[in-house]
Structure 1
């Protein structure tokens, strides 16, 4: 393939949601395809910042300008003085619950989906925008919370994420397909970001693939107290995202419904391990502490979404695993004879594939 020039202007003139962006780059080349070559797009000014006020940034891999993966990384979530504390347990900038700045985030050249030299990678030639959460709000928040006299947290995820969307629209004006991929907490926001991107780029096909949040429940207290009050997400959304829903009914599963109703051309899909222990940790307060109920919750959520008239393509794998995008099992994982990487390849290139669901799911 033709190598895209990788050294961008040191200072970009574009203003992104009040944020001025600058880029730094590194390069590598392996095999037939160009390996991941990340450019850091820093946004040190304006509305873009992390939970502790430190600068926000995202990363870019420039390849095919007509096909882009918009990757919403995880980063954890928080909603209390205990979970939102700026105290490190393993590395600077994050605790066991969430990352409050980006000091420990570096995409690097990874394996799994990020190994763009792998012959089975359906995204080998795609450009990438890699957006990490550093605000504890699943890329959705617009709220400043003083949890204690010593702890004030800026749940600023929506401004950060929409800055990356603005960058996508400005730098990929001829894009034909955007694949929004959300990982763990990033998958919570994935369908809403699909709708936001479709609004910005109406000529592009938008595919949404959210992984590992299928068990997040419709819980009126969580919807009101966390999504509504703590994170301020409900009030920050465009009208279509909350249309017809009071805050107590605005739940993570309904994000898929609202996005699908807003833009019926969106291709919507999800992935989950049946008994993902990390998914369990994030929803345990709202599922009465029963990890064996995760698969039932995931299946019930999908049923409710489809009962609302939305087509949600799905791939449910057995077991209590967690990571899927970075490890090599991105290629080796197969359920009922269907490899996940092949299933994704069909999702973005052909008519969407049939759902895949484990028969022996094993807790």
Structure 2
């Protein structure tokens, strides 16, 4: 029992130390799905080098996925990634490609991929899909406090990958003289035909030429790369990502995805990752396996596909270069 208490004490100390490196910024008028207040976090560093990082945490779009007992999305601000201090959140590791950078962390608690502008009643349970309002407050802070950065890295894991790609146009349009890289982690955008989520959320869409009214994520990646040829646009995923397959199954009405659904997702995911490759400044890193996300994980420092380590690939992005395209 004493050993268990000692271990719990050490864990609590480690979590407290991880959070100690971050400063909370309150957002007046910001709101999470359940009506609780919104805030974001900043870990100060070099003001000329900035990571804009969108948190993941599922999504919801109907009474089943949005209900009070649903576990498919975060309902309030959660800082688990910051406390655990793994992957890019290990602010003390010199191996971190973003060691010494300013890191702006955008929590996710609205079930709408960071883009919603609606409040919806799902059979008596109201959900505030107000991700766009929250992100706008973060961007106002960023643009006010970092007026002329040299390097900017826009990223996010899972739902945060969509936040990154859907808001990257605002960053690129504002920081025209900076080296900007955009990298979505484990959010390739495979969805069913007629998926109702975006209609529910009333999303803020990127301001890019040639986009369709309800664009596919691969379409946005390509439009970003073409509109901003000096930027580097990239994404990462495993080829059998279990979490992305799970959500694709939910879209099809499957509580547990079938093998056929998993195979279907895998084929469509690789197509989605490859489609923007007609732009020279777009790149990707496809890894074997089913793990979901890499940026918040220790595998960031150990993964290697063929001759290319993910860490070296990520360092290239951090330096504003287009690293090689990698697939198993």
Given the two structures, how large is their TM-score scaled by the length of structure 2? 0.86
Give the Cα–Cα distance (whole angstroms) in 1 for the partners of residues 74 and 50 of structure 2: 25
Secondary structure (helix, strand or coil) at the match of 1:107 reads: helix
**Cross-structure match for 1:221:** 194
Map 1:106-255 → 2, pairs under 5 A:
107-108=82-83, 110-149=85-124, 151-214=125-188, 216-217=189-190, 219-222=192-195, 225-227=196-198, 229-233=199-203, 236-237=204-205, 239-240=207-208, 243-247=210-214, 250-255=215-220
With over 3 angstroms needed to count, the CA separation of the structure-2 counterparts of 1:164 and 1:148, relative to structure 1, is same
Shift, 1:107, TM fit: 1.9
With over 3 angstroms needed to count, the CA separation of the structure-2 counterparts of 1:144 and 1:64, relative to structure 1, is same
Contact kept? 1:27, 1:38, Cα under 8 Å: no
> Which of residues 13, 26, 37 is equivalent to 1:42?
26
Give the Cα–Cα distance (whole angstroms) in 2 for the partners of residues 141 and 117 of structure 1: 34
Give the Cα–Cα distance (whole angstroms) in 2 for the partners of residues 64 and 335 of structure 1: 31
Given the two structures, how large is their TM-score scaled by the length of structure 1? 0.78
Q: Does 1:355 align with 2:325?
A: yes
Larger helix percent: 2
Map 1:74-113 → 2, pairs under 5 A:
74-87=56-69, 95-102=70-77, 107-108=82-83, 110-113=85-88
Moved more, 263-272 or 57-66: 263-272
Q: Does 1:321 align with 2:291?
A: yes
Q: Could you report, residue by residue, the CA deviation over 1:27-85 in whole angstroms, capped at 9, with x for unpaired residues?
A: 969xxxxx971001111x23x21112211111000001000111111011000112112
Please list every run of 5 or more consecutive structure 2 residues that lacks an aligned counterpart in the other structure: 1-14
Secondary structure (helix, strand or coil) at the match of 2:66 reads: coil
Q: Does 1:295 align with 2:266?
A: yes
Report how many residues are paired.
Answer: 308
With over 3 angstroms needed to count, the CA separation of the structure-2 counterparts of 1:85 and 1:109, relative to structure 1, is same
Shift, 1:303, TM fit: 3.0
Q: Does 1:306 align with 2:288?
A: no
Give the Cα–Cα distance (whole angstroms) in 1 for the partners of residues 107 and 79 of structure 2: 11
Map 1:21-32 → 2, pairs under 5 A:
none
**Cross-structure match for 2:239:** 274
With over 3 angstroms needed to count, the CA separation of the structure-2 counterparts of 1:286 and 1:255, relative to structure 1, is farther
Contact kept? 1:192, 1:259, Cα under 8 Å: no
**Cross-structure match for 2:309:** 339
Shift, 1:143, TM fit: 1.1
With over 3 angstroms needed to count, the CA separation of the structure-2 counterparts of 1:145 and 1:334, relative to structure 1, is same
Larger relative contact order (CA 8 Å, sep ≥ 6): 2
Secondary structure (helix, strand or coil) at the match of 1:268 reads: strand
Secondary structure (helix, strand or coil) at the match of 1:148 reads: coil
Contact kept? 1:36, 1:114, Cα under 8 Å: no
> Which of residues 225, 230, 242 is equivalent to 1:265?
230
**Cross-structure match for 1:73:** 55
Give the RMSD, CA atoms, in angstroms. Answer: 2.4
Shift, 1:128, TM fit: 0.3
Runs of 4+ in 1 over 4 A off after TM superposition: 26-29, 103-106, 285-289
Q: Could you report, residue by residue, the CA deviation over 1:285-306 in whole angstroms, capped at 9, with x for unpaired residues?
A: 4578511233322221133223
Give the Cα–Cα distance (whole angstroms) in 2 for the partners of residues 50 and 27 of structure 1: 24
With over 3 angstroms needed to count, the CA separation of the structure-2 counterparts of 1:57 and 1:303, relative to structure 1, is same
Give the Cα–Cα distance (whole angstroms) in 1 for the partners of residues 250 and 17 of structure 2: 44
Give the Cα–Cα distance (whole angstroms) in 1 for the partners of residues 25 and 121 of structure 2: 29
Shift, 1:331, TM fit: 0.3
